[in-house]
Amino acid sequence: MLAVLSPGQGSQKPGFLTPWLDLPGTEARLRWWSALAGVDLVHLGTAADADEIKDTARTQPLLVAAALLAAEHLPMQDVTLTAGHSVGELGATSLAGVLTPEAAVTLAAVRGRAMAAACALESTGMAALLGGDPGEVLAMVEKHGLHPANRNGAGQVVAAGSLGGLEKLAAEPPARARVRQLQVAGAFHTPYMAPAEATLAAVAAGITPADPTTILLSNLDGAAVNHGREMVQRLIRQVTAPVRWDLCLRTLADLGVTGVIELPPAGTLAGLVKRELKGEAAPEIVTLNTPDDLPAARDLIARHSGLGGHEPIIQFRVVVSPAAGTFVPADELAEGVDLRAGQIIGHVATRQGSVEVTAHDSGLLTEWLAHHDDPVAPGQPLARIGGHT
């Protein structure tokens, strides 16, 4: 199984888009998206210095645009799973077919401006905690009135909140943990961003999303999302909710992902994957930073997608588990029957109760991929819907 990952804020580097502008049509595409975003993406990706691209209002549309530009040169129809970190979720959601590229870049620009404005309301910040006992780290974050804004896995937690609370955390760090202050505008992914969440919700209400054509993971809980409208609501909620990249990594492991491509500017997420998914679970990774990396990325997709050759391909949509638990298919629902969009095809029994599983599109129930009482993980394929084309 092949996963494509879209990085978030902090991964940008001065001039990282320069080599991509040598590809035909790239500069024109960037100028079109610049008009939508209200910032000069060509300048930001090529000539801007580190301070200029650190600006939240500029960085967020730049990162989404970079991911989408690179993905245009990959056979994305052969990719099984997409996921993104923080604002990278907008890129991943577009690659999964939920948002158009124009909608993703526009929302990234609105999100960036709104979060920058929210940062200006109060003096807040963020600090990375590296190492230590996870429970002790979270307890110390809470003790100082801070929020665990990012839980990235591999022993990384990002605390966010008041500058006073961050100073106390630095003076009294958890045992065996290092605290590193981050150069950011404010406390992202915390209640301090509530005004930005409201602004993004107002704009996103005018978008008509499609349902995902790949497995699409959510930062909220690492779960795969079947419905486009639900994913948009999660993107809005994510402005004030913690980024649970640790749970996304767990889902990658549970699904047995064997190949990973990180879109530009690549390296941060690949590092987290390497540190978290080790041994037999370690996937093959390609960091896609320049067009010179495209052949390796295409080769990885060819070898790990499970598709290839010139035989007719079965076109299907995969219904995936929304939660961890035990799968129970609907009674008397056999392979080959016609399904309607929104029809309940089963449920997942979890510790918190029963979670319904619905068909996100109409078509034939081509194949059950999980059966009665099978244990399932978030994002695990349960059924295929569709037919031959």
Mean per-residue pLDDT for 106-135?
A: 95
d(CA 149, CA 83): 18
User: What percent of the chain has a predicted confidence (pLDDT) above 90?
Assistant: 74
Residues 44 and 155 in one domain: no
Instruction: Write out the residue range of the structural domain in which residue 359 sits.
Output: 314-388
Indicate which residue of 34, 86, 94, 218 is catalytic. Answer: 86
d(CA 53, CA 59): 5
Residues 114 and 159 in one domain: no
- 213 found inside a domain: yes
Residues 163 and 15 in one domain: no
Indicate which residue of 85, 144, 147, 189 is catalytic. Answer: 189
Residues 69 and 210 in one domain: yes
Residues 104 and 148 in one domain: no
* Residue that terminates a domain, selected from 162, 182, 202: 182
d(CA 99, CA 68): 11
* DSSP-derived pairing of the beta strands 259-262 and 2-6: parallel
The dihedral of CA 300, 306, 308, 312: what is its sign?
negative
Residues 158 and 210 in one domain: no
Residue 189 annotated as catalytic: yes
Over the chain, what is the mean pLDDT? 91
CATH of the domain at 362: 2.40.50.100
Residue 273 predicted with pLDDT over 60: yes
- 158 found inside a domain: yes
Query: What are 41-85's pLDDT values in tens digits?
Result: 999 999 999 999 999 999 999 999 999 999 999 999 999 999 999
- pLDDT for the residue numbered 362: 80
Residues 366 and 326 in one domain: yes
Q: State the angle between helix axes of 88-95 and 101-119 in degrees (0 to 180), rounded to the nearest 10.
A: 170
Residues 260 and 209 in one domain: yes
Q: What is the pTM of this model?
A: 0.81
Residue 362 annotated as catalytic: no
Structure tokens at 333: 């629902």
Mean per-residue pLDDT for 13-29?
A: 95
- 61 found inside a domain: yes
Residues 209 and 293 in one domain: yes
Domains of the chain: total = 3
Residues 157 and 236 in one domain: no
